[in-house]
Amino acid sequence: MAFDVQIPVRFKHCDPAGIVFFPRYFEMINDVVEDWFAQSLGTPFDVLVKENGAPTVEISAGFTAPSLHGDVLDFRLAPVRLGRSSVSYEITAHCGDELRLRCSGTLVYIQRMGKSQPWPDSIRERIEAQLPSS
């Protein structure tokens, strides 16, 4: 099961030509991840990281077409692998039928001092329910 959210392309996302400046996509991706935790996993990211952390340890993205100021991007996040303390996901962003972005990333749940630790059961169960069937 995937998580879907829309993000409008705003002036702040764009270069002077009105095209999304690619580092801004990574901000949008982070927003999608935070929304996924809050809305789908039942744990707002700010609550999750008060005592611990969940940094991105790997991320890659491909940009397939430009996005313009005023476009509305349909983001879809799908978890693809769950480890003891990590989760890997894939994200796509479309505007209408056109693919604009494809991303893969991995988060690791850590203690404040940086040592990995198991995901809390409540989060683990919700991620497991969203993984594709084997």
User: What is the pLDDT, as a whole number, of residue 113?
Assistant: 82
Q: What is the pLDDT along the chain (134 residues), one digit of tens a residue?
A: 899 999 999 999 999 999 999 999 999 999 999 999 999 999 999 999 888 999 999 999 999 999 999 999 999 999 999 999 999 999 999 999 999 999 999 999 999 888 999 999 999 999 999 999 85
Cβ neighbourhood burial of 76 (10 Å; 0-12, 13-18, 19+) = middle
In degrees and rounded to multiples of 5, residue 38 shows phi and psi of -70, -50
What structural domains and CATH numbers belong to the chain? 3-130 (3.10.129.10)
Residues 6+ apart with CB under 8 A from 89: 33, 77, 78, 79, 80, 104, 105, 106, 107
User: What is the pLDDT, as a whole number, of residue 134?
Assistant: 54
User: What is the pLDDT, as a whole number, of residue 59?
Assistant: 98
Scan for tokens 């940009």, then name that residue. 63
At position 134, the amino acid (one-letter code) is S
User: What is the pLDDT, as a whole number, of residue 91?
Assistant: 99
User: What is the pLDDT, as a whole number, of residue 51?
Assistant: 85
Residues forming a β-bridge with 98:
95
